[in-house]
Structure 1
Amino acid sequence: MSKRPAEDYENGGVPLKGGERQEKPEIVDEVGEFEDEFEDEFESDEIFEAGVDGRPDAERESEEKADSMDVDQQTFIVGRNKLEEGQTMSPDLTTYEMLHQLGTEWPCMSFDIVKDSLGDNRGTYPATMYAIAGTQADPGRAKDNKLMIYKFSGLSREDKGLAEESDSDDEDEDSESILEYKSIPLTSTTNRIRAHQTPALDSSRPPTTLTASWTEAGEVLIHDVTPHLTSFDVPGTQITPQQNKPLSTLRMHKSEGYGLDWSPLISTGKLITGDNNGSIYVTTRTGGEGWATDSRPLVGHTGSIEELQWSPSEKNVFASASSDGSVKIWDVRSKSRTAALTMQISNTDVNVMSWSQQTNHLLATGDEDGAWAVWDMRQWKSSSSTVAASKSSAVASFNHHKQQITSIEWHPTDDSIIAVAAADDTLTLWDLAVELDDEESKDTGGVADVPPQLLFVHYMPTVKELHWHPQIPGCIVSTGSSDGVGKFNVFKTISV
């Protein structure tokens, strides 16, 4: 087993103890003002009392209003404004309940959280969690790629002043965050990876955890990582070479792809995969270690399959998003092998998609141009042809991000909260329940071009994927890279 403290490779690769971090962008009330650390500390000693500086009150008030406008114009919007040479940003730690940055040897551009037996709705610290990921080694070093199985532990809370309010009796709030891992050799970069758990027949045994890895080589690898997860907490557990081999290697696709999802309603295991040629295949576990893939693909998209997601409530229904700008709804029982519904929702690629777990008719999508939207699928009418849907017909749509959306996900228990990651190096949290008219926006001191629904902005270089932790309310895990090394950010804000 390899065990290492969380590291910040941007700090020269020096291990950091718990609580010590390199400064990152400062985000104050979601849209922070940049402060120059070299700013002149001396201010004028001249003080004017109201009404005694020789000027009429109206003149003084007019000048104060102009000064206020100048300040507004200088507001630094993370992800929109650019730092000047030599300038840095750091996070406002008072806005985080928990914030940890952990480094990995190679970037892991796709990952998934593994549910554990530590309990649901937990808020104790230090926190522990488990995840799986696929690496993206440097070009020319494909054989260095691995399937990674992680344990994150010692994740302490940020504001120690809140410790008295915690229900926890933990003795070590300041424990050092630890990253432990097991790895399975791969020979290709992982484009997308997802985990699925099958309940054990014996309640005394842990569930079986399967992973599906969509590789750059055009194969989908299915592994059983149960023994790897067990080894973190059961001393003496040995991993055999046989346990590192895939249960199955799916080679039906003619090109690589990114679309991948396990059915949440089929416990034995049912998988959909989509490739860059626009073909979608359904693979089902047949019993034991057998897997069967439908001989005929589901076709209809004219572009690559960017995202696939099963319905959270209908076991035979799933959605697909494509670079052709459309979203299709499919029923795997259809003999025609064509989509039941097609909506043209964008003039550019639809990169990512998320189906609400709480309100099953809501679907969120994110585009190549930085726009994202929420759709009410009850308004989409069945048709044999493609139907165009403008952003004006969406439940909500936003153009705050100016670069491609790389990940989007609904809060698992609150259908008004959505997390969005973009190529502008930001991860934003949104509250769709906020509805302010123009007058109310002025009263709240809103910043121009920043929607009132924008709840929080977290800065993370090259952020690629995010997931809410299903058992730690409000906790987000995200992955990205910086200077060729991988980064995981684990955080929880005080606002969610």
Structure 2
Amino acid sequence: MSKRAAEEFERGNAPLKGGKRVEKADDVDGLEFEDEFEDEFESEDEILEAGVDGRPDAEREAEEKAEAMEVDQQTFIVGRNKLEPGQTLSPDLSTYEMLHALSTPWPCLSFDIIKDNLGDNRTSFPATMYAVAGTQADAKREKENQIMVMKFSGLSRNERDQDSESDSDEDEDSDPILESASIPLNTTTNRIRAHQTPASDSSRPPTTLTATMTEAGQVLIHDVTPHLTSFDTPGFTITPQHNKPLSTLRMHKAEGYAVDWSPLIPTGKLVTGDNTGSIYVTTRTQGEGWATDSRALTGHTGSVEELQWSPSERNVFASASSDGTIKVWDVRSKSRSAAMSVQVSETDVNVMSWSPLTTHLLASGADDGVWAVWDLRNWKPAPTPGASSKPTPVASFGFHKEQITSVEWHPTEDSIVAVAAGDDTLTLWDLAVELDEEEARGGEEGVPPQLLFVHYLERVKEAHWHPQIPGALIGTGESFNVFKTISV
């Protein structure tokens, strides 16, 4: 639902129906209309003084003001107002270029998009996407959990005016299809991330690896290349051997939620963090093995909620924690301590995103509903070991009133950010929008002018931009929503 549509949606106010205006008649079948003011007012001056409805101006103005206030209070803003029993929200399809919902047997509250060989900057429809996700089955049916390697296809454009210039002869109407190849697990997936390594032979596809942080505290590394191959190769069969992990890492002593692959190490380098505050770096070896550092990186006083490698420096990553800090680490440091530590929130810092284009910018999202943007050039090493500095963010937004569950920079537009929150909304923001004096005080209804779009998705947990289809997003919650707005 767009910002404009969310602001204009009013409860209980049905739209006026079009039709012919009824003309007033002075005489119908010989009957005359009675002059309602004939006995009450003696002169035309008295009528004008009382107003057209016969009431004093002050009384009429007071009622009109009260009615206006009542209408204003009924304005429904997604993420702010609560639905009443029996009410549902419907998207304004005119604001979407594409919108599809696809369901899985169990909720998948963590997923990642897999790049494909269908080309970059794709704009034709129907669209095709590949992804990997981990399920959260009911506790009584934990053995039904799985890693789902998925293919979304038949993702058609929303119906438009036949005369629209944006329609292409290449576009075709189709029904969305979700295909999946599953890897059985006996535990819940807390977080899953994918990484592609180049093939040794140019005629072969790249190898696609996944790292899964499980509720049991293990990190499972799988090669899901065969599962992806099965979608587009008739007769290809997945064997039990294909479902076995390449490696099971057991260095963590507690479950965790933080995992990230380095984008600058093609062969594969992994950083993982757990609820005790411990962080480990694991590197792929020449013998197809995996080597984990014997000593953990420590320094957080709370759980490690998010980890992200620098998009520009091979040995640097950042960590976000429930202790309210973000720390920046250099794996070459002999001290095994963070290079910088910054207090970014008084609550848990749940998520974080390092801008791939403007690499000195980092976005964070916290439990209090605030998400912020930080300029790393303003971060300085703490004056004493273990201490944290408190710089001022470049931008900070408190629009959401529930915890931030996902934040991610647009892959090609350096001012656009997608944010998901516990208020069941996935919002799109443009930081390039400048504030005037009124907007600096919060704007209409406290809605920041940088807010471009509001999409409703029940229990939304993660959202990722598709790197090869400009403006396309996948969000996961009660279901998968795949959409593209006309505003981004």
The reply to whether TM is greater than 0.5 is: yes
- Gap regions ≥5 residues in structure 1: 1-24, 482-486
What is the CA-CA distance between 1:224 and the residue it aligns to? 0.2
2:12 is aligned to 36
CA gap of 1:290–1:99, structure 2 versus 1, over 3 A, is same
2:41 is aligned to none
1:85 is aligned to 85
CA gap of 1:362–1:46, structure 2 versus 1, over 3 A, is farther
Q: Is the 8 A contact 1:407 1:465 kept in 2?
A: yes
Letter in 2 for 1:231: S
* 1:46-78 residue CA offsets vs partner (Å, 9 max, x unmatched): 99xxx9948999999998777555433321111
1:282 is aligned to 281
* 1:103-133 residue CA offsets vs partner (Å, 9 max, x unmatched): 0000001000000001111111000000000
State the distance in 1 between where 2:105 and 2:266 align: 34
Letter in 1 for 2:89: M
* 1:12-35 residue CA offsets vs partner (Å, 9 max, x unmatched): xxxxxxxxxxxxx78644534134
What is the CA-CA distance between 1:39 and the residue it aligns to? 8.2
State the distance in 2 between where 1:58 and 1:474 align: 53
Q: Which is further off, 71-80 or 275-284?
A: 71-80
* 1:357-390 residue CA offsets vs partner (Å, 9 max, x unmatched): 1100100000011111000011011123423426
1:273 is aligned to 272
1:30-429 aligned at under 5 Å gives the runs 30-36=6-12, 53=52, 68-161=68-161, 165-166=165-166, 168-170=168-170, 172=172, 174-383=173-382, 384-389=385-390, 393-429=392-428
CA gap of 1:255–1:39, structure 2 versus 1, over 3 A, is same
Q: Is the 8 A contact 1:353 1:365 kept in 2?
A: yes
Letter in 1 for 2:7: V
Identity of aligned residues (%): 70
Letter in 1 for 2:140: G
Report which of the two structures shows the higher radius of gyration computed on alpha carbons: 2
State the distance in 2 between where 1:446 and 1:57 align: 32
What is the CA-CA distance between 1:198 and the residue it aligns to? 0.4
What is the CA-CA distance between 1:467 and the residue it aligns to? 0.2
Q: Which SS does the other structure have where 1:165 is aligned?
A: coil
- RMSD between aligned alpha carbons? 2.8
TM-score by length of 2: 0.88
1:464 is aligned to 461
Q: Is the 8 A contact 2:156 2:171 kept in 1?
A: no
Q: Is the 8 A contact 1:331 1:340 kept in 2?
A: yes
CA gap of 1:94–1:303, structure 2 versus 1, over 3 A, is same
State the distance in 1 between where 2:110 and 2:362 align: 21
Letter in 2 for 1:198: T
Q: Which SS does the other structure have where 1:257 is aligned?
A: coil
Q: Is the 8 A contact 2:11 2:75 kept in 1?
A: no
Q: Which SS does the other structure have where 2:179 is aligned?
A: strand
State the distance in 2 between where 1:60 and 1:252 align: 75
State the distance in 2 between where 1:92 and 1:39 align: 15
1:493 is aligned to 485
Q: Which SS does the other structure have where 2:257 is aligned?
A: strand
CA gap of 1:389–1:236, structure 2 versus 1, over 3 A, is same
What is the CA-CA distance between 1:468 and the residue it aligns to? 0.4
Letter in 1 for 2:458: P
Letter in 2 for 1:492: K
1:484 is aligned to none
What is the CA-CA distance between 1:211 and the residue it aligns to? 0.3
1:8 is aligned to none
State the distance in 2 between where 1:405 and 1:162 align: 40
Q: Which SS does the other structure have where 1:448 is aligned?
A: helix
For this pair of structures, how many residues does the alignment match?
459
CA gap of 1:288–1:159, structure 2 versus 1, over 3 A, is farther
Q: Which is further off, 302-311 or 230-239?
A: 230-239
State the distance in 2 between where 1:420 and 1:206 align: 32
TM-score by length of 1: 0.87
Q: Which SS does the other structure have where 1:154 is aligned?
A: strand
Q: Which is further off, 251-260 or 30-39?
A: 30-39
Letter in 2 for 1:300: G
Q: Is the 8 A contact 2:229 2:236 kept in 1?
A: yes
Letter in 1 for 2:125: Y
Q: Which SS does the other structure have where 2:139 is aligned?
A: coil
What is the CA-CA distance between 1:453 and the residue it aligns to? 1.0
Q: Is the 8 A contact 1:124 1:167 kept in 2?
A: no
